[in-house]
Structure 1
Amino acid sequence: KQFLENGNAVKGIFTTDGEVHNGDYVILASGAWTPAFLPELQDRMRASGHPVYMFQPRDPSPFRGEVFPGWSSDISKTGWYGFPAQADGIVKVANHGKGLTVDPTDEYDVPEAFYPKLQEFLTDHLPGLIDAPITGTRVCFYCDTWDGDFYICQHPDRPGLVVAAGGSGHGFKFAPVLGGIIADVTEGKENPYAHRFRCREKGVERVEAARSRKKI
C-alpha cells in the first residue's frame, strides 16, 4: 500500500490489511507497478503492455511440444513468439515489441490494432492457426527501462529502499540469478553485475537485439 518512512528513510511498509511490517530494508520488486510507487523514476522506466493470444486448433497434434517447440520468429523484426500446445490444446502466440504505455492498475483488452499484424504473421508463418478460434487474450505487463537492462540498486535518496525492477520482458529468464544479485546489493556486497544494473540516469536509448521496436 505505502512505505513506512522516517524522513527520507524507508523503515517498512503498510499493507492493505492494515498491518505494519518493519525492516532494515524494503525491497521493491513490483514489476510494472514500480513507476507508480516511485514517480521519481518515471523518466527511466515505464509500464508497458503487450498482446497475448490463446488459440484452440481443432487438431492440436501438429502443435504439441515434441514436434512444435517454443519459438520466436526473427523476433527482432517481427516481435512474435509462442509456445506449444498445452494439455488442453491451447497454443499461445504473443508479441515482444514496443508495446503500449499502460497504467497497470487498470484493466486492458488487446487493442484491435494488433490483430491485422497477427493475421499477416500467421498467414506467412503459421497458416495452421489462421482458422483456429481465439479462446482468450490478455495484455502482458512489463516494467521497461530505456536501455533494456535491469534496475537493481539501493535508492540513492531513500535509505533503506532497494529497487529491483526493469525486467523489460526478459526478467523471467534470469530468475535463478537475480535473487543473488538483489541480495548482494541489499547487503552491500560485491557483485560483478551490480555496476551494470545500478541506479542510473536516462541515457541514449538502446535497442535490445531480441526485441522488435516497430509500432503496431
Structure 2
Amino acid sequence: MQPLAKNSFNPAAGLDSASADINKIMRLSYGTEIDYQRLAYEAGEIWKSWNKQIELGTNNLPAGLEKEDKLWYSTGMLRMSATEDYGEFELRTLENMQKEGLREMQYMCDNPEDILRARSRGWGQKLDPLDKKKRLGYNTAVLDSTAGFVAADKACHWVWHLCQRAGVHFVQDPTRGKVTQIVDDGDKVIGIKTADGLEHHSDMVIVACGGWTPTLIPEVRSLLETTAGSVATIHIDEVTMPHLWQKYAPENMPVLTWGMKEGKGVYMLPRTKEGVIKFGYRATKWTNYDTVGDGQRISVPKTAHVTDKKESNIPKKSLNSIKEFISINTPDLLPLEFSATKLCWYTDSIDNSFVIDHVPNKPGMFVCSGGSGHGFKFLPILGREIVPILEGRGQDTVYGKMWRWREDKALTLGNKRNGLQEGEGGPRVLAKQDMASPRDWRVNSEASRL
C-alpha cells in the first residue's frame, strides 16, 4: 500500500494508483445504458456540491487542499467522429438524452439550430475549438455541456479526508498495508493477512482492490480481468507558449474524444494549471500475464514504481494512435515532445458493468470491482447503492441487478466478453508488443502521419 495521503495523492510523487491521477473524464452520455446515465447525472450534482464545500472551507480542509482548488471542471466534452458521419452510438445517445430531458444540453456541431442555441448559452467557442471545419471541411461532433473532468488526485484526497472525519482508519504502509492473503477457517472468510505476517479478523472482508482483485479472489477471474489503458502527456509553458497556454486552458478547451466507436479510441483533456495536457488511448486494453500465489497465470498490473516488474513505457501502437490524433486534430502540438508515458491499470468486466456482490460459496467475502475504465465518475455516489447490496436488502434494486455476480456462460450468446476469453494466447499481451521508449517521444514523426 503506497503512502498516498502523505503525498496528497499526487501522481508526480511516484504513485501508481489508477485513481491517483491528474484528471479523469466525467461524462453522462451512455448510449442505451440509461441507468448508468442517470447515476452519472446524480454523481455530477455531488461533484458540484463538493466544489462548493471546498470553496467555503467546509470541514477544515486537509493539508494539500486549498479553497482555490476544484474537483469538478465543467468544461464540456466534444465527442468527435473520425469520419464525416455520426455513429450509431452517438445517435442513440442523443435519443436517450431527449427522453431524459437533457437534449437541450447537447449540441450537434453541424446543426444550425444547435449552433445558435450553443452560442446563446455561452458554449459557441467550444463547438469547434480545433478549427476542424476550416481545416478538414467537416466538424462531425457533439458537444455535451453536462460533461467535463474531475481532478482525480485532489478528489481522492478530499474523500480520504471525509472518510477520516467519519472514523475510517487507513493503513497506507508498504508492509502493514499490503494484503497478501484472504484468510478463511474452512467454512467462511474470517479476515486478511498482511505482508508483515499479521492476520486481521473481521465479520466481512470487502475486496475493492482494483487491478489486484483477481489475484486475491480466484473465483472472480471468469468475470474480471486486469487491463491497462495507455496515457501520454505533453507539457506546455505559459511564458514561452502563451498561445497554446490560452488555447488549451479548461475555460477554452473541452475534453476531447475521437473515434471512440470507429476503432481510434483516443481522448485528450485540457491542460492542468501546471501545463500538462493528457492524452489517452483505450481502443486496445493491454494485459500482463504472470504467475500469482495460487500458481495460476493471470493478468496483473505492471507499473512504473510499485510492482516488482516495472514498466513506464506504453506500446508503440498506443503512442502512434495518439500521434495520429494530434496530427489530425491538434497540429499546433506537432513540434513538441511527450513528457511522460504510463500504463493505467483497471479491471475490465466481461460486460463493462461493475461486479458488486457477495462472492458465491464464500461467506464473509464481498467484492466491489469491474470499473472497466469508466468508474471514477461515480466516486461520490457508489456507496449509496453498494450499502444496501452489502446488507442484503439491495439485490433487487436496479443497480443490485446490474452489478450482481453473473456466470460467464450466461454471457456467451451474443453479449460482450471484453476479451477475457483470449487468455495469454491473445494479441493484447504486453510481452508481445513493441514498446515505445523516450526516443519515440517526438510527436512530429512518421508515426504521426500513419
CA contact (8 A) 1:50 1:139 kept: yes
Q: CA deviation at 1:193?
A: 0.9
TM-score norm. by structure 1 comes to 0.89
Distance 2:269 2:322 in 1: 15
CA contact (8 A) 1:8 1:157 kept: no
Instruction: Tell me which amino acid in the other structure corresponds to 1:134.
Output: F
Identify the residue that residue 343 of structure 2 maps to in structure 1: 139
Match status 1:100 vs 2:286: yes
Identify the residue that residue 185 of structure 1 maps to in structure 2: 389
CA contact (8 A) 1:25 1:186 kept: no
Distance 2:318 2:258 in 1: 17
Identify the residue that residue 81 of structure 2 maps to in structure 1: none
Instruction: Tell me which amino acid in the other structure corresponds to 1:206.
Output: K
Distance 1:194 1:47 in 2: 23
Q: Mean alpha-carbon deviation: is it higher for 146-155 or for 99-108? A: 99-108
Alignment of 1:148-187 (within 5 A): 148-187=352-391
CA contact (8 A) 2:234 2:277 kept: yes
> Larger strand proportion, structure 1 or 2?
1
Q: Mean alpha-carbon deviation: is it higher for 137-146 or for 184-193? A: 184-193
1:170-206 deviation per Cα after TM superposition (whole angstroms, max 9, x unaligned)? 1101122211222222111223311111010111343
Identify the residue that residue 256 of structure 2 maps to in structure 1: 71
Distance 2:225 2:253 in 1: 34
Instruction: Tell me which amino acid in the other structure corresponds to 1:3.
Output: I
Following TM superposition, where does structure 1 have runs of at least 4 consecutive aligned residues deviating by more than 3 angstroms? none
1:54-106 deviation per Cα after TM superposition (whole angstroms, max 9, x unaligned)? 10135222111111122222422221112111111110010122311122144
Distance 1:27 1:181 in 2: 15
SS at match of 2:377: helix
What is the identity percentage for the equivalent residue pairs of Structure 1 and Structure 2? 31
Give RMSD over aligned pairs. Answer: 2.0
Identify the residue that residue 217 of structure 2 maps to in structure 1: 38
TM-score norm. by structure 2 comes to 0.44
Identify the residue that residue 64 of structure 2 maps to in structure 1: none
SS at match of 1:33: helix
Closer/same/farther in 2, CA of residues 207 and 18 from structure 1, 3 Å limit: closer
Distance 1:181 1:200 in 2: 18
SS at match of 1:200: coil
Q: Which runs of 5+ in 1 are unaligned?
A: 209-214
Distance 2:228 2:403 in 1: 23
Count matched residues: 210
1:61 to 236, 242, 246: 246
Question: Which protein has greater RCO, CA pairs closer than 8 Å, 6+ apart?
Answer: 1
Closer/same/farther in 2, CA of residues 66 and 16 from structure 1, 3 Å limit: same
Identify the residue that residue 51 of structure 1 maps to in structure 2: 230
> Larger helix proportion, structure 1 or 2?
2
CA contact (8 A) 1:110 1:138 kept: yes
CA contact (8 A) 2:281 2:321 kept: no
SS at match of 2:200: strand
1:140-183 deviation per Cα after TM superposition (whole angstroms, max 9, x unaligned)? 11100111010000001110100101000011011222112222
2:191 to 5, 12, 18: 12
Q: Which runs of 5+ in 2 are unaligned?
A: 1-179, 289-299, 302-306, 419-427, 434-450
